[in-house]
Structure formats: C-alpha cells, structure tokens
Amino acid sequence: MALLEQATHLLNRLPAPAVRTLETLLHRLPGAQRMLERQYDQMLAELDRALHPYREELVQYRQLPEQGRDRDAILAEMERLQAQESVRWRDGYVSGAVYHGDAGHIDFLNRVYAINSQSNPLHFDLWPSTAKYEAEIVSMTAHMLGASHTPDPIVGTVTSGGTESILLAMRAYRDQARAQRRIQQPEIVAPMSAHAAFDKAAQYFAMKLVRVPVGPDYRADVSAMERAITPNTVVMVGSAPSFPHGVIDPIPALADIAKRHGIGFHTDACLGGFVLPWAQELGYAAPEFDFRLPGVTSMSADTHKYGYAAKGTSVVLYRGYALRHYQYYAVADWPGGLYFSPTFAGSRPGALSAACWAAMVSMGAEGYREAAARILATGHLLRAWIGEIPDLQVLGDPLWVIAFGSPTLNIYQLLDAMTARGWSLNGLHRPPAVHLCVTLRHTGPGVAQRFVDDLREAVAYVKNHPQDKGEMAPIYGLAATLPLHSLVTDLLRRTIDRLYEV
C-alpha cells in the first residue's frame, strides 16, 4: 500500500499523456503486474471480513447438498440473518438504501408479493392483472411528472430499476438517431455529476459519453453543456437531483437548449421523481424539471426509492409513442413464434409490479406529500447543523441529499470514523466528500440529532488521530488521487470477484 501511495504522489505531477503511456506500460511489464497483484491481494484481504462476515459461522454450499435441508431450518436461518442485518437501516443509520422501512408497510408489500408470486408480465394472457398494474403505474407516475400539463402523450414502461430505465432511454435515442438522422457514432452530453448508469449505457451501446465539468455550485454548467453539442449528439442529460451532491441541475435552461438543437433531453429523476413534485407547494425552492418543460423528452423515476415500492422497480417515461417504440424488442421470424418484450428482460417478476402498484395506491398523493414534507424538513435541519461544524463544508445547495467535504480533514478517515459508530454513508470523489441521503428512516425522533452528535465526535476523533486510516480510507484516497484509473477499475473488478467467492 505504501508503494502505491508513493507512486501516486509522483504520478500526479506528470502530464496526462505521460500518465496514459505509463499506464499502458504497467499493464505490459510482468514485474509491475506482479507488484500490483500483491498490492491488490493485500488490500482485498483487509476487506475480506467485511465482504464475507458469515464465512465462519454458517455452512458454505459449494455444491448442491445431497439431501435437501429442512424448510423450517432454512426459514429460521434467514430470519436470524434478516434480524441481524436490519438493525442499522431500521434505526436510521444508513444513507438511502431503505426509503420507507415501516414494519406495517413492509408486511403489506410482502403480502402483495406472496399473492402475486407466480405472475409474469411476459405472459400477459395468463396474468392480465399484471398488465393492469404496470399500465397504471406508468400513468400515475406520468401525471405526477407533468403529463397533465402537456398536450403530448406521456408514455413509458416499468423497469427493474433506475439503471435499466436510463439504459433503455439511451438505447431509444441511439436507435432513433440511426433511423431518422443516419447517425452512426451517437453521443450523450452529460454533466460530470450524472449517474454512472450513463457510462454503462455508453459502454453497452457503443455510444460516446461526453462528460462536462460542473460549475462551482456542482450543477451542470449550461454554457459548457451547449458547447459540448456536436452533429453526433443525440441526447443531453440533467439530474433532479444528482446522486453525488444532491443538487438539481438547471433543467429548464438545459431542456430549452436541447429543444433548440433538435436533440433529446433526459431528466434523471430517479432520486427526486417522488419528492420534487411536492417540494414547491411545500415552500422549497425547486425548479421545474418534468414534462411541463417542452424540451424534456424522457425521464426516469425510481418507484423503489421514494415511491416506497419493493426493490426493484422504476419507470422510464417518453414524450410520445414514437420514441418509446425504439425501446422495444420484437422479432417476427423466430422458429419459437412471435416474440416481443418492452424491456431488457423477457420473464419478469410480476409480483414486484403488483407490490409497486399497491404501494402507490395505498400512499396516494396525500401520503407522498406528507412523506416529502418530513424528508425535506429533516434535510433542511441536517444541512444547517452540518454547516455549523467548523471543519466541514456542505457542497452546493442540496435539499435532502446532503454532501459535505472538509478543507482540514481527510474526509475518508471521517467516513471510517462514522462507520465505526454504526453509520453507512456514501463516499464521493471529485471533490472528496461524503453524503447522507435522507429517507423516512431519518425523520424519526432523535435520529437527525444522533447523526450530528456522532459526526461531531467523529470530526474530533479524526483531528486527534490523523494517522488512523481505518479500512476504507486508503482505498477511497487511492481512487481519488491515483491518475491511473484502470488500476482502480481493476481493483473494483477484483472486489466483485471476491463477492462471488464461497
């Protein structure tokens, strides 16, 4: 680890072309590769206990057991693990992840799932109820996001999560541009803060993602975004809000630019789609971001976040049927018959769509409005309290996803210190920071105060123990400073490998 840290200090002094050349050489030199392997193994060994906490206490199944286990024993083991793992999120120690978490709500969704456990939207002739649920999920979400304020039809589909919603939208823009404009090298223009799913879409669909630096307020830079448009640009992206910093991009200005240039505009409202519609009427400063803006041609909104559905469902929406058609897959000459599907998956768990529909109609507009009020009030309070801690700085102008950095402390050591106090927060890069995504779990009595008290203690601890690096601080610090990004990517791939090891 020390060797990599020393190399990082040297590499950061080199110009970018020299760094890329050195990166290529490192991957070709056997000696350098062996050194990296040893460093990776050391770092991953330190993480292994966190990745596999049950390895010593539970039976590991590398092959099918010869005789099946007793069902009651299986259920008892699962219930014990669930009880053990639910403590932190239930008591509000987790950023995001569990957005509702009330026992009654969870029991209700579990009953809905059990009733619909065999349903599959692929076989809509067998389960027309699932088609009803999905159509109504799309319609309810669309009307919440401005469909009532435009003459254009706002249509969409239910997906497995925000990533699939974003991937489907980007594929639709790619194929539309190929068909209508003969563009063979399509480009996406997105701020640096846009979700990593846009990188994934670009990689999967052979598109070029043009990442544009954000402004000093961490929002998309309108002028820079417009300058990034080329004849190959097929879509521009804005976040409402962005995952890293919780700020809302200037969607009205960006959507207007996209419309003037004749390209699509996608509002990524995966985080904000079920909170922001109520923010203005609750007295919070929130710009328009949805289909009320003529330039917005697609949106993503996660029902399994602040829509309080079970994981994983999301909704992708389009302005008009024509654009949505480019999302679909259909084949008419397969020996197995006519085949078509609206999303990437063929068979899908209809029970998740049923649970999503049940969550939405049981909450109603009043329920979502009340939940948004609690979350926004808690976010406002936490932002003010964090801002009062001398060594911390709140980034940008967030509403309920509060990111903060430090000009005086190693923020990743602070992340480890908060982890030691039971908190599960998100580490960020560019700049180094940490954020807390406020959910209903944080709006309970005393939770926000507990967070700030622990944060003050953690700040004091890091100031008094600057050499105590913890488990994640070295890795986050390395990823934040090492210019050889493929090396960090290699480390992340190896981490995934470890997750799948028994």
10 Å CB burial of residue 33 (0-12, 13-18, 19+) is exposed
Q: How many CB atoms lie within 10 A of CB 132?
A: 14
Number of domains into which the chain is organized: 2
Please check whether residue 464 lies inside any domain of the structure. Answer: no
Which of the listed residues 360, 379, 403 is the one where a domain comes to its end? 360
Task: List helix spans (H) across 343-388.
Answer: 350-387
Q: Which residues pair with 393 in a beta bridge?
A: 405
At residue 251, φ and ψ (nearest 5 deg) are -60, -45
Please check whether residue 420 lies inside any domain of the structure. Answer: no
Q: What percent of the chain has pLDDT over 90?
A: 79
Which of the listed residues 317, 335, 360 is the one where a domain comes to its end? 360
Q: Alpha-carbon distance 422 to 412, whole Å?
A: 15
Same domain, yes or no, for 53 and 141? Answer: no
| pLDDT exceeds cutoff 70 at 343 | yes
Same domain, yes or no, for 163 and 292? Answer: yes
| pLDDT exceeds cutoff 70 at 14 | no
Where is average pLDDT lowest: 33-37, 265-269, 307-311, 348-352?
33-37
| Domain housing 189 | 114-360
What are the angstrom distances between the C-alpha of 278 and each of 268, 374, 489? 17, 11, 39
Same domain, yes or no, for 50 and 148? Answer: no
Same domain, yes or no, for 145 and 41? Answer: no
Same domain, yes or no, for 53 and 119? Answer: no
Which of the listed residues 323, 338, 360 is the one where a domain comes to its end? 360
Q: Is 94 helix (H, G, I), strand (E, B) or coil?
A: strand
Please check whether residue 493 lies inside any domain of the structure. Answer: yes
Q: For residue 356, what is the domain's CATH number? A: 3.40.640.10
Same domain, yes or no, for 352 and 480? Answer: no
Q: What is the structure's pLDDT at 7?
A: 46
Tell me the whole-structure pTM to 2 decimals.
0.89
CB 142 within 8 A of CB 155: yes
Please check whether residue 416 lies inside any domain of the structure. Answer: no
Please check whether residue 439 lies inside any domain of the structure. Answer: no
| Mean pLDDT, the chain, integer | 90
Please check whether residue 389 lies inside any domain of the structure. Answer: no
In sequence order, which residues have a C-beta less than 8 Å from that of residue 176 and are 6 or more positions away?
234, 264, 322, 323, 326
CB 82 within 8 A of CB 412: no
What separation, in Å, do the N-terminal and C-terminal C-alpha atoms of the chain show?
A: 26
Q: What is the structure's pLDDT at 498?
A: 82
Same domain, yes or no, for 34 and 177? Answer: no
